[in-house]
Amino acid sequence: GENVEQHPSTLSVQEGDSAVIKCTYSDSASNYFPWYKQELGKRPQLIIDIRSNVGEKKDQRIAVTLNKTAKHFSLHITETQPEDSAVYFCAASKGGLTGGGNKLTFGTGTQLKVEL
Amino acid sequence: DTGVSQDPRHKITKRGQNVTFRCDPISEHNRLYWYRQTLGQGPEFLTYFQNEAQLEKSRLLSDRFSAERPKGSFSTLEIQRTEQGDSAMYLCASRASQSEETQYFGPGTRLLVL
């Protein structure tokens, strides 16, 4: 089955700096890669996603890049703010019209701390 | 609130007891997923419904676990003869259709088995 590895497990940055979180996946058939943000005691919330037919996607301060050949994808947060502090999870699935049920396989999470 | 809801939010039980959790997906979402999340880990897939049909179950879902979605709307997850290792957050997620891949998560049910 799919295996997703995520690094680093913790990341501290100064406010205004950029943060990068990296994930690798094992199943070359995976074609959907979402990123979730989870604040303490709250539900995971989707912040951005990318499909395998796209190499990069950006939404304001957040961007995701995908390298299908190397089977890795990354989350980039620019101009970090204290409210960005949370645990971030990457995930992979075989979704859409290819079937596979779209069950998500998650990484182990990155605790991001944005310091003032 | 039109999001995914779960009940109860917290459950404390003694080892050996049975527990049942409920998930109400977003209206008209025909796909519903159960995940389990332990401290410091990402959610792990347990099972998945398309309408009322349970289409996939993880090997994590032992025979003490059963899930239903009888009318294709809300779902229940039952754990029989609970063990301390069952202590975790149980998350439910729903998704609109085959072409819409985003899964929306509920707030979870935190289970503590004493």
Q: Is A66 on the interface with B (CB under 8 A)?
A: no
Nearest to A76 by CA among A22, A7, A116: A22
DSSP string, B29-91: --EEEEEEE-TTS--EEEEEEETTEEEEE-TTS-TTEEEE-TTSS-EEEEESS--GGG-EEEE
Residue in chain A lying closest to B42 (CA): A108
Q: Which residues pair with A88 in a beta bridge?
A: A37, A110
Q: Please give, rounded to a whole number of angstroms, the shortest distance from the CA of B95 to a CA of chain A.
A: 9
* % of chain B surpassing 70 pLDDT: 98
For the stretch A50-109, pLDDT in tens is 998 889 999 999 999 999 999 999 999 999 999 999 999 999 998 655 555 789 999 999
Alpha-carbon distance A99 to nearest alpha carbon in chain B (angstroms): 8
| Confidence at residue B1, expressed as pLDDT on a 0 to 100 scale | 52
The 8 Å CB, 24+ separation contacts for B52-59 are: B55/A101, B56/A101, B56/A103
Tokens of A32: 């959907």
In whole angstroms, what separates CA B43 from the centre of its chain? Answer: 11
